[in-house]
Amino acid sequence: MAIRCKVVIIGAGGHAKVVIDMIQSNPEFEIIGCTDRIGNRKISGIPVLGDDSILPQLYEQGIRHAFVAIGGNSVRHQLARHALDTGFELINAISPHAYVADSVILGSGIAVMPGAVLNAEACIGNNSIINTCASVDHECYIGETCHIAPGCNISGNVRIGEGTFLGTGTKVIDGMTIGSWSILGSGAVVVKDIPSYCLAVGVPAKIIKKLT
C-alpha cells in the first residue's frame, strides 16, 4: 500500500470543511489536523492542533505538505507565504466531482470545488479558489490568490489579475480583462474591462469605488 502524504490544513472555518471533504476523497493524502486561533475542538472530525505558530513544530515533526483553507484573498495570500517560508509544499484540493481538462495548467495551493468546470488551456494561479459550480472557459488566465465564487461563469480568453474576487454568480463575457485586487459584486455582468483595485457592481458592471 502506498504511503500517504501527511497534510496540515491551515484554517478551520466553513471553507475548510469543504476542503477537508475534498482532500479526504484523495487517497494520496492524510490530514493530520488543522490550525486555527480557536483550539481544543474538531471540525469535520479533524482536530484543531493549535494556532499558526505551531507550523514550524509540525514541519520539524516531518509534516511537509499543507493547504491554506481560508476564503479571504489577502489573508490566504499571507498565510500561503508563511507556509512556504516555513518549508511546506502547498498541495491542490480538487473535487472528484469537478471537471478539469487535461490541458489546464494548475499552480499550487488551488481549490477546485464540486461542480466546477475548467476548460481547455485555462491557467489557474497559485492559491486561487474556483468555487462550487463555477466555470472557467478555454484559454482563460486566473492570477494568483483569486477567488471565483460559486456559480460564476467566465467565458473564453478572459484574464483576471492577482487577488481579485468575483462574487457569487458573476458573469464575464469573452475576451475581458479584470485587473488585480478588484472586487466584483454578486451577480455582476462584466462586458468591458475592469482595472485593478476597483469595486464594480451591477448589470452591466460599473465601477463604484476605487480600492486601496
Query: Which residues are catalytically annotated?
Result: 138
Q: Is 147 annotated as a binding residue?
A: yes
Please give the C-alpha separations between residue 165 and each of 24, 46, 89, 185, 186, in angstroms, as whole numbers.
Answer: 27, 28, 24, 9, 10
- 3-state secondary structure string across 59-89: HHCCCCEEEECCCCHHHHHHHHHHHHHHCCE
Rg of the chain's alpha carbons, rounded to an integer?
17
Whose CA is closest to 60, among 26, 88, 33? 88
Please identify which residue in the block is written with the cell numbers 472528484.
96
Whose CA is closest to 119, among 90, 139, 149, 147? 139
Residues 6+ apart with CB under 8 A from 199: 182, 183, 185, 207, 208, 209, 210, 211
Q: Is 71 annotated as a binding residue?
A: yes
Residues 6+ apart with CB under 8 A from 169: 149, 150, 151, 152, 186, 187
Annotated binding site for substrate: 71
Q: Which residues are documented as binding site for acetyl-CoA?
A: 147
